[in-house]
Structures are given as structure tokens and as C-alpha cells.
Amino acid sequence: MQRIGVFVCHCGSNIAATVDVKKVVEIISQEPSVVHCEDYQYMCSEAGQAKILDAVKEKNLSGIVVCSCSPRMHEGTFRKAAERAGLNPYMVEIANIREHCSWIHKDMEEATEKAVILARAAIAKVNLNAPLFPGESRVTKRALVIGGGIAGIQTALDIADAGYEVDIVEKTPSIGGRMSQLDKTFPTLDCSACILTPKMVEAAAHEKINIYTYSEVDKVTGFVGDFTVDIRKKARSVDMDKCTGCGVCQEKCPSKKTPSEFNRGLNNRSAIYTPFAQAIPNVPVIDRDACIKFKTGKCGLCEKVCQAGAINYDQVDEIVTEKYGAIVVATGFDTIKLDNYDEYAYNQSKDVITSLELERVMNAAGPTKGHLERLSDGKHPEHIVFVQCVGSRCNDNRGKSYCSKICCMYTAKHAMLIRDKYPDVKVTVFYIDVRTPGKNFDEFYRRAVEEYGVNYIKGQVGKVAPQPDGSLLVQASDLLDNKQIKMKADMVVLATAIEPEASVRGIATMLTASIDTNNFLTESHAKLRPVESPTAGIFLSGVCQGPKDIPETVAQAGAAAVKAIGLLAKDKLLTNPCTAKSDELLCNGCSVCANVCPYGAISYEVVQVNDHGIREDRRVARVNNALCQGCGACTVACPSGAMDLQGFSNRQIIAEVDAICR
Amino acid sequence: MYKINKENLSALFSCIADANELYVPCNINGSVNFAAWDEEQLVDLDTLKTVKSPKDAFFPQSETLYSCKRNGKKLSITPEELQNKDFVVFGMKACDVRGLAVLDKVFLVDPVDSYYKARREHGIIVSLACSQPEEACFCNVFGIDASQPEGDVVVYMIGDEMYWNAVTEKGEKLTKQVASLLTDADEAKVEAQKASIKEIVSRLPYSSLSLEGWGKDAVLLDKFNSPIWEELYKPCLACGTCTFVCPTCQCYDIKDYNTGNGVQRYRCWDSCMYSDFTMMAHGNNRTSQMQRYRQRFMHKLVYFPQNNDGMYSCVGCGRCVDKCPIGLNIVKVIKAFEKGGNR
Amino acid sequence: MQRLIDRAKELLASGEVARVLGWKKGDLGFNPEPSYFETAESLDNDFVYDGFCGANLSKYMIEASKKDGKTLVFLKPCDTYSFNQLIKEHRVDREKAYIIGVGCKGKLDIEAIKAMGVKGILEVSGADINSDCETLTVKTLYGDKEVSYNDAMLERCHVCKGKEHQICDEVMLDSRDTKDAERFAEIEKIEAMSPMEKFEFFKKELSKCIRCNACRNVCPACSCRKCVFDSNKFDEATKANVDSFEEKMFHIIRAFHVAGRCTDCGECSRVCPQGIPLHLFNRKFIKDIDTFYGEFQAGEDSETKGPLTAFTFDDVEPSIVTERG
Amino acid sequence: MSMNNEFKPKIVAFCCNWCSYAGADLAGSSRLQYPADVKIIRVPCSCRVNPMFILRAFEKGADGVIMCGCHPGDCHYSTGNYYARRRMTLLFSMLEYLGIENGRTRVEWVSAAEGVKFSTTMNEFVDKIRSLGENVRLGDLRCKD
Amino acid sequence: MSHGANKADKIKEISGVNPLKCMKCGKCSATCPAFDEMDIKPHQFVSYVVNDDIEALASSKSLWKCLSCFACIERCPRSVQPGKLIDAARQLVVREKGADYLKADEIPELLDEELPQQLLVSAFRRYRR
């Protein structure tokens, strides 16, 4: 039995005006295991805390109950006081007789009776409290960034600049990501390559940054501060160290019929290729599915022309295993497939394109060398129609329920650029709402309308019909005029919804990071912890967490970096001691607890147990204290009661229930 | 010897219940067990064996021994009152009555169990001869005569009549109480029924079961160390069905129930099949199911007879034979040893 | 039956399996017991397989999985659900089992025959798996009786989940469709009662409980090494049947612990010495899970997450219970 | 302690630390009254509430049990209340099936900002329990004296 | 509850549509082949139901100009599907006018050559009970 001291706070008159504090002391003094009970004006004051210290010494207390305000207010205060008195801080429980009692009741008799019951519940709990000690775990001072787009690059640079090692894993042959595909960026219209390329170069050159391109994360184990990651370096068939990036191989390669991923399939590339001219590293890869040498065994032209002797057909995938303290996910996005949107004739007409394809069309390094032309016949268009919200804001199973956020702005950008470069081209934009929250964003959109004469029509396009003459008939509504419009266009550009990169689901599973129904990674708190995953040590950067534009992505990338740096700066992590604990003698090893753990904190191992004389090997659950956040989901899932939560144990809660119902 | 027409049984029960608590076999949602009689109850005297034996009436499955109440830091203790009213258990079978003799050997020897003793003193047994013994019965193996049970009053169901024969003083007293409902009868029909029962008993599948090698002359260690146990126990589920339906199992556990303001200390039947049976501070003295399984039968067939002048603590009622979920039973144990050379 | 013995001997002889988990003849002709066989002789002498071999052997495989070598086990179609579920819970080792799926023509309940008033049963013929399973001839101390096979079947066979084995290495012997009742009909009947009627119904049933734990110990889902009701983890260790509450607590929690894991194998109801229809608890949870979260049959496979370890964002709220009236 | 014979229900409220307990605190600091019959037990998350706790409360004499947690989607531990929701739905349905009066149990999602909702909910719940009267179907008689 | 609200509720009930889901994109009106013939346009239908103005809908020309081609139902991104609302409004009107609204014998007279076949097919499909 514990030796418990109970301290009843008046909180000035906040408690004492409604609760008969003296009477509470009188009744509670009679409780078994209570060896000390007193009341005081303000328990949280220095003098109040001193009373705890004195009582612990004089009466040799082993547990403390403070009847006062909410534990959310002063639990920490009293735990520290107990610690100063030489007690384990977790031997303190609070009976909330202010927020849950004196403030909500008027009748003194009733409130006093309730205060006594709340105190009894706290005493019953303390009787079963045990000292708890936060665990420690070490931190590997190295971060992994998954994804080499602008988000990943920025995060890596920020972490590296703070002095920590960073590895970037990028699945394509080059870093750069979606931003490298863009022509110009809003709202300032700088050339995307001009601002991105220096960052790419900086990342590549940074002594603390190590880039794995054409690589994927294969396996993740471990936990915050101590992750172990297997990175698969896919066989490039080109020796990174020998290649000089001269490009001769790509010129000579006879297989040139593979749609270029970088140009969104608008033109073709060779089998040995770098995705784009400024690629980093500037080392090509051989696409083995397209390469004649790999398909037929004959050819080998690239090997012959390579003066550096860098071509190596025998290369195999290589697994690199590294340890990290923090992992940042920056996997980015792709546009959705438009197969279900027949009405826009995307699959029927080459002149109906997505906005991302338009970026490539407008780009000097793109398939049309930057000339605005119809992809069907190369003709100069006279009229271009932009359609907003294609697959965004839908709840019809064809598209996405969310707003893709960036389309309004890039459409204004496209319209403006076209009108600027080709004043003869008529531009019509069909919109539902124009959403421009952001610095200088609405001004930008207004410029498109006012200075560049872009025709914005409120209404949605219902149908795009390719005509025999090669033009496109656009049928739409004009809601403000209450008319149905039919107009001819030469090109139609679809502001296609964006969605998280398909690979993110697998990555999230490996990281045990939670993911929402749209495949966006879930943040730990929507408002207060927007760049942290609920899984400790995992941070979110860029569109993998939700649609955002470049400035927001860069800001979030920096935020994620800071959170990661904050973690890496620590030598050791103190873990919350109120974690789940499994009794291995009771554990069935059935995995039901692991199934409900949101943190992947439970693993299984086979151990030899001595169950009352029976020695056998058993599969039992192990809770990793560094990962467990103490929610208790496992404790209820566990049928045998093997899993219990320290600080909120089954017996403690039952004791509280009993005390209340008594 | 008296008799009463079966039509008047209800009046008889009512008359008995006027002055005593009365327990009779009743059908409750399809299962027949002894229960306190009232007019609503569906009395069933045709079913040979109640699921639970009537030992409940003398040694309840759970009973409070005493209560503690807390008042501040003070405790007050109130012992439970002992049975102080007469009660009648009507319809016990020969085996059930013998079961009580086994319990007496446990509870009425020093130190005497006052709770049990009070119930024994106040309990009046009206036993019923078994007109239709069933396949699992083997009471004859233990020298029990199903046709002529022990008890304070012995009754026989013959045709439309129930024959009533007071055997003891208690029985005479009860007979007086219900005399107005009884008429005189001769013993001829009863004797005929006894003979018929004996004939049926001789044809029972277990009637010639041999207990050779068991009992007070058994070589304890040979039995204990026999490898046969290792084979026998394997299908056992370790449930307590056999012990809880048994008329002679007498093991109990004592536990506290927290009522919020105090504690009720009660005892309840325990089963040697349970993994925490006789679990003590130092641990458990039987750690495997084989040991627990062996304990049950060694106790019934060896230890008990060796400590009680050869009296087996099995009465051959066959309830465990009927009720074991996976078809194990004491008869199979006896037979296995017979086959295995009776070591 | 001889085919089963022959096949078992073959597998023993080839060394494919180290032992056979099957059935040993009883001493009354209707009380066979689960048993291990390690030799051809013991199979010849003692092995039996008939309509009374109703127990679910899958739970025995927990212990068998700890032994060296493979165990040949005979599983009925419904047992295989339990076996799958046990694989899911890592309680049995698939590699340690050689499963012969045995056909099923419905399993018999000696209690059902006794409930028809048949007393002093000595032998039951017509229960052989090879027979047409239409009529049973019961030889008793008091004369012979004929009983319809169907009327003597266990409750579970009337609401059979089907005669497909969910997991096995080979199938032997034929099955016969025995389903002639709706699985949830009983539940619906109770659901339609008034609260007072429901309460009285269950009170009466549960007051019969003697806490013998047969339901728990036979249950393949109750495979805990130590049950919460036997440990002090919840301060709920109890053996007494002091008053009706403890039985409620025990049976509700037991049903809750196996919810989403119970395959509805019906063993609990089969073994209850007091004839409490315990499946009414488990089946209620199954019905609710089906209604609230989509149809789910535990043990159909050995991977799918159970309904209580999964969720969807738009699951029904608990208030549905009040709202549906 | 009470002198009159008015029925004073015993009501246990399990509140998750992050939303509902804070919501109850807010109800307190906003001085929103609700009956003293409600006693709150703090748990880290609604998923920590074991059906055994609820039955235990009834066993020991509670007349009503309510569980409050973060709104679905807002769980501090991301998924806890989704599990809790399924568990409680099934448990409540079972209690109803056993003939326990509907309404003795309740789940309500209360955020840290919903002091008003907390207080309204508690008022409603206490009213409901008062209308149902004493819990006689689930208690253990031994606890009544 | 007002009479109008009753009717709007009825329409929602019959159609199974929640008009509040509408984000006013106008795609229904953009795809409607009978747009020009309608006095109340498909997208306006939704607002009329939201605003309980059922009388106006019931007396509108549009009600009978809709071809039930289901283009708006197919393409509505918000599952509001004005075609279903129109259909429900029609049913309401038909029910109110009762059996006397149109006798089968009168139909042939009312048909003219230019009447789209699709309308007939769809009418039969809808109202054959």
C-alpha cells in the first residue's frame, strides 16, 4: 500500500467558493492509504509546492494527489515538485476539482461530494502507480530525403547547410522533379530552369549531400533517430565514375522510339538517355526495355562509341544500406489519368493537352522547340480554350474531391504568356471560381484579364468535339449570361487535377506513415504540426502532403528541414514513459496489437520464456518505447490483457471506475 | 410404506414447501437441475440425472463466508449466518446420496466445516430410486444399489403412483408433515421394481467394470508414474465440466469480491483441471495438464480410498461420461489401465 | 473410413507426417475422442471417423505445431476456417500441418437424440460417413429407435457455411448439403423482442452457466495462453457463479474478444453442459459486423485484417444502435 | 449524503486527454453547468477504453457510461477513435441485444473547442439516465449494500 | 413546414439528389442538348430546388423540354445530376394531375414528326408503370 499525501487547493475562491475544502480534507484523511491531507490557498505557488516537499520528507510519502485545476494546467508543475522532493514524477495524480467540479456546480454540498469522489478516484489510481522512467535512444546524425524535386532539394540543402549529412533518393535518372518540366513560374514569370538549375547544382556539389538517382527505397526498419534503410540503386548500365556526359551515345543510339517521360510523351527519346539537358547527374541510363542490345543481344553501339568506356551492360541493381536519424518524404505529384473524361476528347485529339504538356510545348527545349503549335498538324493556333477544374473538386468517382490549388494560377500564367508572345492568338478560359489566395496572385490574374485581354468565362465546358476540319468544337455554359456557348478552338488545354505520386503508398507503408484516402500523407496535426507525420522522425515536404505551389513547397521544405534538424541536433531522445508494455508470459503473439498500432511500434520476436516452469520458445510482442506514443489502441485489441499501458493501466482505470461507482 | 398418486405431487411439494425450503429437479430452458420449488417451476422427475449433481444444496457452487465493510479507516466484519432452517432435497438418486457420504468424509472430519455441517444437519433427503438407469451409469461398481437409495425418505415411481418409505427420524418427521396426502401401501410393487432395476443394471455397458488395482490397495507410485497418463490426457481441454457436474468433487477456492465499500469473502468450487488450481505464492505445484489430469483420477481412485478406508470418491453417476465435450471420462481411464496391464 | 486409415498409413510410412491427429473409438459407440496416432497398428485398431466426430480439431494444432515433424490432421470444412484464422494469428504453423479435408454430411449431437426422449443409448448405426446419412438406428437398453439423421444434427450443421474446405492439402470423402435454416434467423427473432423479453431470455439462459469454461477452452479463437478471466490484469479473475452479472460479463467479453475472429464453428454451443445457446452471442457480433462493415467471414483466408483491427473513415456511429430503434 | 429521495444517477464519463478532456475543461472555464452526477476519467485516447471498463462500471453500480473522444479524423493518434468507434458500436449493439435499456451508453465526439457541446451532451445524457432510472439489469447485487 | 418545402423535399426524396452539393460549375448547362429550348436552364433547376421554388419549375417549359439524355447526369462532377431533379419534378407534376393528365389514346395526336425518338423511348422507360 502506498503512503499517499493529498493536497487540496482552494485556488483562491475558484474552488473554495463552491467546494467545502475543509470538509474534503476531513473526509479524505479517513481514506485508507492516505497518511497526509491538507488544504492550501494556491498549491501551484512556491509556498504550495513547498508543502508537498515538506510532507514528502516528514511523512515519507510514496504518492501524491493534488486536488486542483485541470492536469492539463499544472500536472507538469506538480510532477516537478515531486521530483524535487525525491519522488518519481509519475507518482503524482491530479483530481480536477476546478474545471470539472467547482466551476460547473453551484450547490456546495453537491460539489463537495463530487470533489471527494474525484479525490478518491485519484487516490485509487495512485495506489497502483509505479515509478516510470523515460527511456533514451540515440540519434543517427544523418537524414534521408525521398524525392529529388524542388521540395527534396530544398529540404536537403537546408539540412546540409545546418551541418548534417543528407542523402537524396530519386527514382528517375535525374533530380529536378516536376519543376524542371515547367517553362516559366508564377507570379513573377521567371524561367523555371533558371532558378532550379542552380539549386540542383548546389545540391550535387554540396559536400554533405549525397544523391542517389535512378534509385528507390526498398526497405525501412527502425524508428525515430535510428532508421535503417535499404536503397536500391537500379542498374544504370553506365558507369557513373567514367561517364563524361558527352552525349555521343545518345546521338548514336539506333533505338529512338521511346516516348520521352520528361516531355510527357509528346516526342521520343533514345534507349540510352538523360531525361533533359541539364540533368544532374549528367550521366545517361540505358532503358533496358527499349535497348536493342538488351532485347536482342545485338547492337552495342553505345559501348563502341563511348570513349570513356563507361557503358557496362552487366551492371546489376545494388542495395546500399544506410542509417538515418530522420526521414523526409518529398515524393511529389503527377497529373491524374484522363481516361474517364471522354467529354474532353483528350484521347481522341492530339490538340487537347494537359497543362503540364503545354509547359513542355512552350519550353524552348520541348518537342516544338518552344513554338506554340498544334501537335496534330503543326499549325499555329488561332484560338486556345483553357478548361479549369478537370478532375478536381469532383465527388463523382472520376476525379478528386479536393481543389488542386495550382491550376488557377498556372492557367493565368499560360494565358498571359501566350497572349504576350502571340498577340494574334485568342485565349478563352472557362472557370468555376478563380482562386488566387497568395501574395501578388490576384494581381497576376487581373493582369491576364486587363492587360493581356484573356477572355475569362464563368462556366464549365461540357463537351469538346473534334471536327472534320481538324478544329475542336467547344460547348460550354456561360453562367453569367445564362447562355450555352459553342465555339471553335484550335487547341484545348485541360487544367488536370494533380494527385500524389503513385509510389507514395508503398513508401508510406514502409515508413508506417499514415496516408489519407487520396494518398496524401497525413500530417501529425492539421494546424499545429503540418510538416510532421504522426510517425515520429518522419517529415513531410511538398505536394506529398497536399497540393501546393512552388513558394509554398519551398517554405514547407524549409520547415520540414528545420524539424529534421531539430531532431538531428539532439544526441539522445527521451521517450514518453507512458508507453504500452507487453507481458511476455501472457502474450499470444497473435499480431492483433501490431495491426492497430498507428506507429509501427510493435514488433515480434521469438524468445525463450519460462512460464511457471515450462520453458519454450514463443513469438511475443515487443513495444519499441521510442516509437510508442501511448494511445492504448493495442491494449484493448489484445484479448489476453498481455498488453497494458503504463500510467493508464487496466487496473488503474478500473480502480478509478470502482472509486467513482462505490 | 405409503403411496401418493402422481397427480397429487404438486400438492405434496406445496405441503413440503410450507415448512421447508424445497429443492426439486426443474427444467429451466431445456436443462434439468435442482432448483428451489415454486408453482411456476417445471418439475422434471423423469430425467434420470440433473446436469449438476444436487451437492449444490449442501455445498453451493459459491457461498459468502463473511463480509467486511469499510468505514473510513475502520473495518467491520460480519460472518455469514449458518443454515438454520430445514430444507428438503427431493429426488436425489442413489449415487447422489452416496456422493454426500464422500463429502462428509471431507467436510465433517476435523476441522469441521461449519457451513457444510449446518446444511447437512438441516437438510432432509428424499431420494428417488432409478427406474430407468442409463448407459453411462456404473454406480453398482462402487456397491451402490440404484434400486434402493439411501436417504431420509426413499420414494419409488411406479405407474401412476409414487411410493414413499421413511427411513430415518428426519424422514419420519417429514412423513408426518405430509401424512394427510399419503395413503398406506404394500411393498409388493416396490419389490418388483427393485428386481427390474437390478436386472437392467446388470445389462449396463459399464456394469462389469473392474476396479482391480485401484483403491486402498493400489500401488500408488506405479499408478502415478505410469506412462499411460501421458497418452490419456492429450485431448483434455482443461475445462471444468467434469468437476462441476460431479457429485463428489469437493475442491474450492476462496476469493474476495470488492463491493466498492468493502469485501465479501466467498468460496466457490474450483476445478483441478484449471491451470491456476492450487496456485500459491510460490507458484503452481502442478504445471502441466497431464499432472492435473492425473491428479483428478488418482484422487478419486487412489488417494481418497487410501485415506478413507477404501471409499472411492467416485459414485459412478456417469455425469462426466455424458458431459465431457470431447468424450473423455473416468471409465476410459480405468479401462486404459486394465488394458495396459493395470500398472 | 478405411480410405482415411489407408491414406494416413501411407503418409506415416512415407515419412511425410510424423503423427496423425484423428479420432479414437469411444467406449459407448458415440463418444469418440480426439487422439494422436503414431503407428499403423494403432490406426487399424482404434481409428474411427463417423458422424459423432464433431469436435473441431484445429485448436489441437496449436500444440501439434510445437512438435517435431508434420502432423496429419483431418479437418471438416468448417474446421478449416478456424485453422486459417489460427494461421492469421500465428498460433499454428502451416508447415507443420498436413491437412486432409474430410467431406461432411452433418455432424451428430447425442444430446439432440437424448432430447427426443431416447434413453439408455448403447449403439447408433447409420452415422458412418460412407452411409447415405438419412436415418439413424439407435439401439437402447429399452428397445431400438429410429431417428432422422437431420433431426440429430448439431445446430451448426443446419446453418452450415458450406462444404468447401478453405485450406487443405487434399480432400477425401463426399459431402452433403445440410443447410436448411437461415444463419441469422434466431438472432433476428431475439432482436424483434422487447428489451424486457430479451433481458429475461438471456437472464434465464445465463443463469444456467456453471462457469466450467468448456465454451472457452474448446473455442479455437479463445487460444489465449492465459485468459483475462484467469489473470489479475483486469481484477476480473473469477470462478464463481455468484449472481447473474458475472456470467454476463464473462460471456459478453468472451464474445467481444472473439468478435471478428470467431468463425462461427459452433463448438461453444456444442460443448455447453447446460445447453446454453452460446452461439447467439458470437453470431450477433457476426451479424452486426456484416451489417455495419460489410460481409466478413473469419477464416476465409489467413491474411485479411479483421473488422476490429480495421476501419473506414465513414463507419457508422455507435448511435446507430439507438437510432435503429 | 443526499437527504431527499431524488434519484442520483452514477455516471462515468471516459474522456480522451487531447480533445474531450480539454472540452470538459473548456466547459468548466466557461462555467457551463451540468449535473454533478457525471464523473470524468481521463484516458489518453478513446481507443484506450476497454469494453471491460464499461461493463465494470455497470457492475459496480453505474447507471450510465459515456465515452467522449476527438472527432473522427482529428484523433491525436490519428486512428484511435476509428477503432474505438467500431468497438463501441458493437458493444452497444450487444448490450441492446441483451435487453439493456438503450441509452445507458453513449459515445460523443467532443473537440477541445466544444465546451458548449460537452456541457449540452452531459445535460442530455443525465436527463436520459434519470428517465431510465436506476440500472438494475447490469449491476452486481453485492455492490448494492 | 411550408407547402413549397414539402415539394422540394419530395423532389429530393424521389431523385435521391442533394442539391446542396452543387458547386455551380454549369457543366450541366454546358452539355445540355436542349439548352436553347429551356426557359429555366439545367443549372438553375438546382437553385430552384434549393430555394424551394417548385411552382416555377412545375410550370416551366423546361420540364417537358428535357430529353432525359442523361448527359448532365453522366458529367456532373458533384453527383448533383440535374436530370434526376427534372425527372423528379415531372413525376411530381404527373402525380398531382393524376390519371387525367394524359390519356393513352391522346398520345398519337400529340406526336409530331420532329419529336426526338429518344424522348419517346425515355418516356416509355420512365412511365410505363
Ordered by where they begin, the domains of chain A are 4-128 (3.40.50), 142-234+317-332+501-568 (3.50.50.60), 248-305 (no CATH), 334-499 (3.50.50.60), 580-646 (3.30.70.3270)
Region B66-80 average pLDDT: 89
* Chains with 3 or more CB pairs under 8 A to chain D: A, B, C
Confidence of residue E129 (pLDDT cuts 50, 70, 90): very low
CA–CA distances in Å: residue C27 to residues B241, C56, C123, C173: 19, 20, 10, 25
Residue B65: partners with Cβ closer than 8 Å, 6 or more residues away: B79, B80, B115, B254, B265, B266, B267
Closest to C209 in 3D by CA, of C174, C252, C171: C252
Opening angle at CA C275, ends C272 and C277, nearest 5: 90
* The pLDDT value given to residue C241: 64
- Taking CB atoms and an 8 Å limit, are C141 and B275 in contact across chains? no
* pLDDT for residue A311 is more than 90: yes
Cα separation, C215 vs C202, in Å, equals: 17
* Chains with 3 or more CB pairs under 8 A to chain C: A, B, D
Strand pairing class (B161-166; B153-158): antiparallel
In the block, residue with C-alpha cell 459478453 = C252
> How many contacts, defined by CB atoms under 8 Å, are there between B and D?
9
* pLDDT for residue C242 is more than 90: no
Q: Give, to the nearest 10 degrees, the angle between helix D51-59 and helix C244-258.
A: 170
C229 to chain A nearest CA, in Å?
A: 9
- Taking CB atoms and an 8 Å limit, are B288 and A614 in contact across chains? yes
Which residue intervals of A243-305 are DSSP H helices?
248-252, 292-296, 301-305
* pLDDT for residue D144 is more than 90: no
CA–CA distances in Å: residue A277 to residues A256, A310, B98: 16, 19, 102
pLDDT per position as a tens digit, B140-193: 999 999 999 999 999 999 999 999 999 999 999 999 999 999 999 988 999 999
- Lowest mean pLDDT: which of A496-510, A605-619, E98-112? E98-112
In sequence order, what E strands does chain B have? Answer: 2-5, 21-28, 31-36, 62-71, 74-79, 87-92, 123-128, 153-158, 161-166, 183-184, 252-258, 262-269
* pLDDT for residue D49 is more than 50: yes
* Chains with 3 or more CB pairs under 8 A to chain B: A, C, D
CA–CA distances in Å: residue D143 to residues A189, A328, B264, C291: 77, 56, 10, 37
In the block, residue with C-alpha cell 467558493 = A17
Let me know: does B177 contact B19? Beta carbons within 8 Å.
yes
C209 vs D: CB within 8 A: no
Confidence of residue C243 (pLDDT cuts 50, 70, 90): low
* The pLDDT value given to residue B58: 96
* pLDDT for residue E2 is more than 60: no
Confidence of residue D3 (pLDDT cuts 50, 70, 90): very low
- Lowest mean pLDDT: which of A220-224, C307-311, E39-43? A220-224
pLDDT per position as a tens digit, D25-34: 999 999 999 9
* pLDDT for residue D1 is more than 50: no
Let me know: does D83 contact C318? Beta carbons within 8 Å.
no
* pLDDT for residue A534 is more than 80: no
Q: Which of C196, C202, C245, C257 to mutate to test the interface with D (most CBs of D within 10 A)?
A: C245
* The pLDDT value given to residue E4: 45
* pLDDT for residue A558 is more than 80: yes
* The pLDDT value given to residue E126: 60
Cα separation, A81 vs C59, in Å, equals: 54
Cα separation, A486 vs A462, in Å, equals: 10
* pLDDT for residue E3 is more than 50: no
Region A143-164 average pLDDT: 98
Let me know: does A330 contact A145? Beta carbons within 8 Å.
yes
Mean pLDDT taken over chain C: 92
* pLDDT for residue B342 is more than 60: no
- Taking CB atoms and an 8 Å limit, are A72 and D22 in contact across chains? yes
Region C155-177 average pLDDT: 94
Q: Give, to the nearest 10 degrees, the angle between helix A192-205 and helix A150-161.
A: 40
Residue A53, classified by CB atoms within 10 Å of its CB into exposed (0-12), middle (13-18) or buried (19+), is middle
**Residue-wise DSSP of C54-81:** -S-GGGHHHHHTTSSS-EEEEE-HHHHH
Mean pLDDT taken over chain A: 94
Closest to C208 in 3D by CA, of C278, C275, C301: C275
- Taking CB atoms and an 8 Å limit, are D60 and B257 in contact across chains? no
In sequence order, what E strands does A568-627 have? Answer: 572-574, 580-582, 602-611, 614-623
Cα separation, A236 vs A187, in Å, equals: 38
Lay out the sheet containing B2-5: strands in order across: B31-36, B21-28, B87-92, B123-128, B153-158, B161-166, B2-5, B183-184
SS3 B339: helix
Region A2-30 average pLDDT: 96
E104 to chain A nearest CA, in Å?
A: 35
Cα separation, C4 vs C130, in Å, equals: 11
Check residue A403 and report its DSSP letter.
-
Let me know: does E81 contact E31? Beta carbons within 8 Å.
no
* pLDDT for residue A625 is more than 90: no
Region A545-568 average pLDDT: 97
Let me know: does A68 contact A45? Beta carbons within 8 Å.
no
Report whether CATH 1.10.3470 matches the domain E3-127: no
* The pLDDT value given to residue E118: 73
* The pLDDT value given to residue A547: 97
Closest to A200 in 3D by CA, of A244, A148, A265: A148
* pLDDT for residue A329 is more than 50: yes
pLDDT per position as a tens digit, A446-476: 999 999 999 999 999 999 999 999 999 999 9
Closest to A520 in 3D by CA, of A276, A259, A377, A331: A331
C322 to chain D nearest CA, in Å?
A: 6
Instruction: Provide the CA B132 distance to its chain's centre, in angstroms.
Output: 19
Chains D and E touch, using 3 or more CB pairs below 8 Å: no
Cα separation, D138 vs E100, in Å, equals: 62
Cα separation, A499 vs A495, in Å, equals: 13
* The pLDDT value given to residue A345: 95
Q: Which of C225, C232, C303 to mutate to test the interface with A (most CBs of A within 10 A)?
A: C225
* The pLDDT value given to residue E90: 86
SS3 A435: coil
* pLDDT for residue C68 is more than 80: yes
Let me know: does A15 contact A75? Beta carbons within 8 Å.
no
pLDDT per position as a tens digit, A208-250: 999 999 999 999 988 889 999 999 999 999 999 999 999 999 9
Cα separation, C33 vs C31, in Å, equals: 6
Residue C232, classified by CB atoms within 10 Å of its CB into exposed (0-12), middle (13-18) or buried (19+), is exposed
- Taking CB atoms and an 8 Å limit, are D99 and C201 in contact across chains? yes
- Taking CB atoms and an 8 Å limit, are A592 and C309 in contact across chains? yes
Residue A585 is which amino acid? Answer: L
Map out the domains of chain E as residue ranges: 3-127
pLDDT per position as a tens digit, C105-119: 999 999 999 999 999
* The pLDDT value given to residue D4: 52
Residue A69 is which amino acid? Answer: C
Question: What ipTM did this prediction achieve?
Answer: 0.84
Map out the domains of chain D as residue ranges: 11-140
Query: Residue A326: beta bridge partners?
Result: A143
B257 vs D contacts (CB less than 8 Å):
142
- Taking CB atoms and an 8 Å limit, are A661 and B72 in contact across chains? no
In the block, residue with C-alpha cell 497418463 = B229
Fold of D11-140: Rossmann fold (3.40.50)
Q: Which of C107, C155, C217 to mutate to test the interface with B (most CBs of B within 10 A)?
A: C217
C297: cell is 467471414
Alpha-carbon dihedral angle through residues A581, A585, A589, A595, given to the nearest 10 degrees: -20
Closest to A587 in 3D by CA, of A564, A617, A613: A617
Closest to A150 in 3D by CA, of A440, A521, A556, A565: A556
* The pLDDT value given to residue C47: 95
* The pLDDT value given to residue B343: 44
| Closest Cβ opposite residue A590 in set C89, C228, C233 | C89
Cα separation, C301 vs C167, in Å, equals: 8
- Taking CB atoms and an 8 Å limit, are A103 and D28 in contact across chains? yes
Confidence of residue E109 (pLDDT cuts 50, 70, 90): confident
* Chains with 3 or more CB pairs under 8 A to chain A: B, C, D, E
Let me know: does B123 contact B58? Beta carbons within 8 Å.
yes
Chains E and B touch, using 3 or more CB pairs below 8 Å: no
Region A433-450 average pLDDT: 95
Region B317-343 average pLDDT: 87
Let me know: does A510 contact A219? Beta carbons within 8 Å.
yes
Confidence of residue E1 (pLDDT cuts 50, 70, 90): very low
In sequence order, what E strands does A197-351 have? Answer: 209-212, 215-223, 226-233, 258-259, 268-269, 272-273, 285-286, 318-324, 326-329, 333-335
Cα separation, A562 vs A557, in Å, equals: 9
CA–CA distances in Å: residue C146 to residues C134, C136, C143: 10, 6, 10
Number of other residues whose CB lies within 10 A of the CB of residue C320 = 15
